[in-house]
Structure formats: C-alpha cells, structure tokens
A and B are shown apart, each in its own frame.
Chain A
Amino acid sequence: MKIQVQKNELDIVKRLVLSASVLFLIHSEASFSQESAALTSNVTDTVLMTAPQPPISVTIKDLPNDRGSAVHISWELSPDDNGSGKVTGYIISRSESQSGPFEVVGDAVRGANEFSDNQTDDSKQFYYKVEAFFEYLNAAGEKARLVSVSTPGGPVQSVPQWFNANRKWAMLWLLVVAASIIFFIEKAKKGDQIYVRKIAGIDAVDEAVGRATEMGKKIYFVPGIQDMNDVQTIAGIAILGRVARLAAEYDTWLEVPVSKAMVMATARESMKEAYTSVGRPDAFHEAQVHYLTDDQFGYAAAIDGMVVREKPATIFYMGAFFAESLILAETGNSVGAIQIAGTAQPAQLPFFVAACDYTLIGEELFAASAYLSREPRQLGSLKGQDVGKAIFLLAIIIGVLLATFHIGDILFLFKVTN
C-alpha cells in the first residue's frame, strides 16, 4: 500500500519533469541527453507537431552468406535524427507490390541504420519502406505517432548462398591444420619416430616412486572426477600405466581411488597390463583400484580421510579437476607427500602450481600421455597441433612486424567476423 502511494506521487512528478525537459530540448536543439531517456514524449506544443523527414538513400538487398529467407535493409539517418529527439525510431514495412498494402515487419531505434527482415519467402519479391516516426502522448494521454512520408524501394528477393564467403580463410587454415594432423597420424602409424620434448613432471615420476619405496609408504593416484568420456581422464589413465609399471618394479603399493565406475574398470585393466608387462602379474590386487562415490565433495572428503590416515609418500593428480582440487592438494601437502599434478582445467591450475611439487600445465598432460603411451593417434595429433601453433606463431611475428613498420597487413587472413 505504501509503495502504491509513492508510485502515484512519483508518477506526477516524473511527468512534469519529463514534459519540461523534452520541451526544453526540442526548442534549444541541444543534444538529446541519454539520461532523460523517455521513449514517449509528452508534448502539448502544437507548433512542434510535424512529422520527421524520412531516412535517405535506403539500400535493400538480399542478406549475404545465409540460408535464405532474409533481406537486409540499411539507410542513412533521417536528417531529423540528429540528437534533437525529433525521431523516436524507424518502422520497416514490406509489401509484395509497390503500391502496397505494406505490413510492418519490424522497428529500429533512433540512431540505428539497418534492419534484417528474417521472415521472407525465397520465392517472392518484396518492396520495402523505412519510415521515421516521432512518438508522443496526446491530450488524452495515449501514445500517438507522427510518421514520415517515405517512398518504397525494391523489389528484392532473398536467396540462400552455397558458401559463406566471410569464412573462406577459416576454411583454408582449418583444412591445412586438419591435413597435417592426419598426415602425422599416418606417419606415426607407419612406425616413424615422432619426437616429444621432455616434460619436467614426468621426469620426476621415477624419483617420486623411488621415494615412496624408500619410506615404505603408499602411492596414491587420483584420476579426477570426470568419466572416461573426458580426454583428460583418458590421458590420466595413460600416465597411470607408467606409474603402475614403476610401482610394480619397486614393489610399492599403488592405490587408485576413483569416482566413476567406468574409470574403475579401465584403471584396473591398465594396471593389470602394467604389472604383467614387468613380469609381476601376481603383485596386482583389484582392491588397489576402488570406487568411492560419484559426488564431487563426497569424493574429495573421502580421499581427504584416506590421506590423513595413511600418509602416502607420493600423490598423483592426473585428469579433470574442479573445485575439489584445492581440498585435495592442501591435505596432501599437509602430510608432507610429494605431489605431481596435471590437468587442463585452467581455473584449477593455480592451486596445483601453488600446492604441488610438479604440475603438468594444460596440454602438457596430453603430451605426457602421448609421450608415455607412444600411441600413433596421440603422437600424430600432437605433432599436427604443433604445425597449427607454428602457423599462428609465424603469423603473429610477421604480422606485427608488417604492422609496426607499416609495410602491409595480413590481418584479413586470420580475422573472422560474422
């Protein structure tokens, strides 16, 4: 009830202020203030009641690079649309014949100079009219409009395009990178060596496993909270294979708590294989890989408890991590474990870098898994992606030099706009 009263009072005050300000603005031809943004002006001065002039040079054409059914209309502003407030907006209407009748297909605010009619029929021709209007409250307090006299333009017919010409360079570069990825995958399959640089975190795996052996403590491997459909989890499992092999050689207990049933099955398989490959299949126990819970915080809390109780010497975090990253890394750190982490979740990387001894950053996780598994798919793609990086790197260096010394411009090769 209280609000109601306030509202009415304000309404009156507001109207007074508005009518005064609009009148002032129109008379003085001052620039229209954005602050008093009244859509509908309250004008009583009949002298001002003339329709605005129509917009000039209206261009009507088929909207390019689309699937049809759209026409693009652009115009130069009405001479009255100069900030004086005399133009409230534009009305766009169309007809199948030059003489009408015209139906309204849309409107545009003052200062706007284009419109797309997205409801055309590709089999018909249309004429278009763009009218400027001025909206005000008449004596009865109703909205009324003064509309310019505009002549129709056209006809135009919308057509679908076979190729989006704005995107030709995108297509070229996409094909180049795609081709190099496929080329290197094939090459790797034939058995050609593909070089992958050293990765600090991976070099430290041996040391970390060795330390756990010396101390006679466990190693934990946490593969993240995503399922097997996440490439990060897959990369994590590839690294698990390597860790498992070392653990088997050193005869150190490696424990893998997981949060997804599928991950459990895959991790068991991968570990069994690793233990077998070093000739110790008997040393592998299925209980080493165990499911905790699907729930994010439940999983983190459970690992937390395990770490505090058993104080593992080494913990690996390899896979997709979210907000739980800092809970895990903090607890591991507090029991003095060596921690090696790897994830491609940019928001979680800071916590791993600050709390772990080694961190595989983003793509390094994938590179590490390619490096360890030597799988042609992974190696080939890694090399193909490097070709992409090389292209962009060279483009940046050359482009900046050309632009800085005003020699030329290669921006158009890389800039994709709608």
Chain B
Amino acid sequence: MELFGIWIAALLTLGIYSFLYKDNPVYKATEAIFVGVSAGYWAVVYYFDNIYKKFWEGAVTSDNPDYWMYGGAVLGLLFLTRLFPKIGWISRWPLAFIVGATAGLYMVIYFVTNAMNQTASTIMDIVARNAAGEILWMDTLGTLVILVGVVTGLVYFFFSKEHKGVFGTAAKVGTWFLMITFGASFGYTVMSRMSLFIGRMDFLMSDWLHIIK
C-alpha cells in the first residue's frame, strides 16, 4: 500500500508538472482531482473536529450539555441557505456575525500589537551600550536606522499633507526604506518558492526513484 501510494503521488506530481510544458488534459485532470480532494479533505476534517467533536458531543450527546452551542449551530445552518437562491439572503446573518466578531477582535488586537507596541519598541535610547557602559556602535547605527525608517515610512503613508519640503524629503527617504524592505521580502520569497520545488524533487528522487539516499 505504501509503495502504491508513492507511485500514485509520483504520477500526480508529474501530471501537474506537465503544465510547465503546456496546458494539457492530463494537467486539467490532476487539477480537477486537486480541487475535489482538497474540498473533500477540508469538509471531512471540519466535520469531525468541529461539528462532531465540539458541537455534537458537547451539546447533544454530552451528559452535561452546553446549550449555548445550539446558537452557533443554528447560525451555521443558516449559512447553508445560500445554496438556495430564494432564501439565500438569510445567509447574511451568520456572515454578519462573523464579520462583527472579527471586527471587534481585530479592532483592539491590531491597534495594540501592531500600532502601540511597535511604537513603544521604537522609543528607546538611540545610543546602545553594553553592561559596562561602553557604546556599541553597530547596534547604535541599527537603532538609528530603525528610527529613521519608521518615521520616514510613516510620513510616506500620510495622505492629508502634501509631500513638499522637509516632509517631501522624508517621504522620499521613506520609500527607500520600503524598497529595501520589499527587496528583503523578495529575496525571502524566492527562497520559499525554491524550497517548495526542492521538496518535490527530493520526493521524486529519493522516495520514488531512489536515486539519492
């Protein structure tokens, strides 16, 4: 069964890679399997881990049922009305609930973690010293770079003031920082994408063909 599985996996892998040569029926077939299997996978996992384990066992078959959870199940069922165009508008209720809950949670956590605490961690003595009180020049430079980068970056994202004079210069410096940031992201993203392919090649060459260890 294990060997059979490896062959299946290898054939599916090659089927998808055939797209790199050109779009073809084999790729389309593997893509269709991909869409079907993923949707099925998610549905099964969400059914057993949530609907069964949490709701059914927690609220229906439990000795000490949590009746509040029926509220969630009702909202969930209302979501499914979207499948029927005539009553589909009811699905806006559970949607409204999710949107509201997310908005409420995000409003504070983003403000606190990504705005206030990031501001706080930029506020520090620029001159970095070690325990003995000697100045650490590289760290001091780094702190200064962060200070300048954050301030000018924020200036760039100011929309209600024209970018002229000192403000304009600051905004321009801000874009330089943004570009270096994007460059770093770019390099890292390339690294990630290559790793994905290395993983697949490792599977084909070692698990399937046994060319390498």
Contacts and interface: CB of A to CB of B under 8 A. Distances in A.
Do A's and B's CB atoms come within 8 Å in the complex? Answer: yes
Q: Is the interface of A mostly helix, strand, loop or mixed?
A: helix
A397 B117 contact: no
Given A354-B186, A411-B120, A396 B159 contact: no
A414 B157 contact: no
Interface stretch (B65-73, B131-139, B176-184): B176-184
A225 B1 CA distance: 39
B123 A350 contact: no
Interface in B117-172: 117, 119-127, 147, 150-151, 154-155, 157-163
B185 A395 contact: no
A416 B185 contact: no
B116 A351 contact: no
A382 B159 CA distance: 7
A177 B154 CA distance: 16
A367 B162 CA distance: 13
A385 to B, nearest CB: 8
Given A173-B116, A415-B116, A393 B160 contact: no
Given A174-B108, A197-B161, A198-B162, A400 B155 contact: no
Interface in B61-112: 95, 99, 107-108, 111-112
B169 to A, nearest CB: 15
Contacts, number: 118
A363 B153 CA distance: 12
B189 interface: yes
B108 A170 contact: yes
Nearest to A398: B123
A163 B125 CA distance: 32
B151 A414 contact: no
A140 to B, nearest CB: 40
Contacts of B126: 400, 403-404
A209 interface: no
Contact of B116 (A170, A349, A410): A170
B3 interface: no
Interface residues of A, number: 51
A361 interface: yes
Contact of B119 (A196, A229, A392): A392
A212 B67 CA distance: 62
A305 B119 CA distance: 46
B122 A295 contact: no
B211 interface: no
Contacts of B158: 197, 386, 389-390
Tell which of B23, B115, B154, B189 has the most Cβ of chain A within 10 Å: B115
Contacts of A388: 115
Nearest to A415: B120
A315 B31 CA distance: 27
A392 B115 contact: yes
Given A170-B116, A197-B162, A350 B183 contact: yes
Interface in A162-211: 167, 169-170, 173-174, 177, 194-198
A170 B111 CA distance: 8
Nearest to B147: A400
A346 B189 CA distance: 11
Given A361-B178, A400-B124, A411-B123, A393 B155 contact: yes
A414 B123 contact: yes
Interface string A369-404: 010000000000011001011101101110110011
A390 B108 CA distance: 19
Given A197-B159, A197-B161, A389-B157, A396 B185 contact: no
Contacts of A137: none
Nearest to B113: A416
Contact of A350 (B19, B159, B189): B189
B119 A347 contact: no
Given A350-B182, A393-B154, A170 B120 contact: no
Given A305-B23, A347-B185, A392-B119, 5 more contacts: A174-B107, A197-B160, A197-B162, A386-B160, A396-B151
Interface of A: 167, 169-170, 173-174, 177, 194-198, 229, 295, 297-298, 301, 305, 346-347, 349-351, 353-354, 361-364, 367, 370, 382-383, 386, 388-390, 392-393, 395-397, 399-400, 403-404, 406, 410-411, 414-416
18 contacts: A174-B108, A197-B158, A197-B160, A197-B163, A198-B163, A301-B23, A346-B185, A347-B185, A349-B185, A350-B185, A354-B186, A370-B159, A389-B157, A399-B122, A400-B125, A403-B124, A404-B126, A414-B120
Closest 10 CB pairs of A and B: A399-B123, A350-B186, A415-B120, A414-B120, A350-B182, A367-B159, A392-B119, A403-B125, A386-B160, A404-B126
